[in-house]
Amino acid sequence: MWNAEKCTLCGDCLVECQYTDYGREDAVAQIELLTKGGKPSILKECVTCCACNEYCPTGANPFDRINELQEKHGSLPIPPKMRQFMDAGATVPSSLIKGDPSRPALSLCVMERPLPRDAVGGKMFDGMTIAKGGDYFCYLGYVHIGMETPLKENAQKFIDSIKSLQNPEVVFLHADCHAMIARMPEYGIDVPFKAVHIIEYVRDYLRKHPGEISPVGKKIAYQRPCASRYSTQVEPALDELFELAGVERVTRKYDRESALCCGGLFSRINPERINPLMEANLKDAKDAGAEAMVFLCPLCMVTLGAKALEKEMKPIFITQLARMALGEIPYPA
């Protein structure tokens, strides 16, 4: 939620934006217009990476304001197929596999299809209640087509679906779901269960089973998804997870706060603007010596996985990495 009262008009958010080229003075002018509800050029230029929410030092959440006004003014040229693609999320067939009620439940959102087949399985997940499909869709992805209203309108429905699992603890495999949970206070909605980020769940499992780990022993580049801008508190857990799995997270330009969007959705809206940075992201990973690229979001993996492989970096989903460390599945040949 945009917190206008927290904005000091410092301009940092847009000066640091990696997709635009605003100097300090212009950035401040853009933010002033945003505050007044005008139509600054950033509404058309923003590729919806959510990063400026994290760049802002005061927690004003400038991207949330940009997104709100993008929708109000219809700023992004969204092809009808993109809207249909997004709306299809809620229609994905749902299923609920009841498991051990003493274990946390696992929500896959609508990510089962893009997820690698062996990403969920083995000791970490066996016996858990698993919920998947449109009934458990989180709606956060609409921000990438310049829309905020579907989040607001469906927030209660999302929480009610997860609540219906009747499990006090729910692990969210899709980072978007956890980000959506983080937005519930702005909608005035209580979250009546403990929401566990998949990074924390996997890290905790590895922590508890050190004797079962064989270090993977590879240099990996991490593709940080846009949703992580809403869950920055789990970053130390991710570093610990990599350490426990025995991989080295290479130091590179486009990681951590400076991560780039995978570009999966925006490349269908404005490929000229985002494709060069998608390529730069992969080159940066390769130049840093990565042998593999690790993904937290299944859609990021669909977008960049094959291109990473072309550069001889194995695409690996975060839970696959943990399963490799546990000796349950092999490192890709």
Please tell me the distance from the alpha carbon of residue 314 to that of residue 244, in angstroms, as a whole number.
19
CA 193 to chain centre: 21
CB of 47 to ligand SF4, least distance (A): 4
Return the amino acid letter for 254: Y
Distance set, CA 15 to CA 9, 52, 64, 116, 232 (Å): 12, 9, 17, 37, 21
Which one, 71 or 200, has the nearer CB to ligand SF4? 71
CB of 253 to ligand SF4, least distance (A): 15
CB of 85 to ligand SF4, least distance (A): 20
Q: Which residues of 91-127 are buried (b: 16+ CB within 10 A; e: fewer)?
A: ebeeebeebeeeebbbbbbbbbebbbeebbebebbee
Which one, 19 or 137, has the nearer CB to ligand SF4? 19
Q: Specify the DSSP class assigned to residue 331.
A: P
Residue 97's DSSP bridge partners are 130
Which one, 34 or 130, has the nearer CB to ligand SF4? 34
Q: What is the contact surface with ligand SF4 in residues (CB under 6 A)?
A: 7-13, 17, 19-20, 31, 42, 46-52, 56, 58, 60, 62-63, 66
CB of 56 to ligand SF4, least distance (A): 3
CA 310 to chain centre: 24
SS3 helix, strand, coil % of the chain, rounded to 5?
A: 50, 10, 40
Which one, 14 or 292, has the nearer CB to ligand SF4? 14
Which one, 31 or 82, has the nearer CB to ligand SF4? 31
CB of 49 to ligand SF4, least distance (A): 3
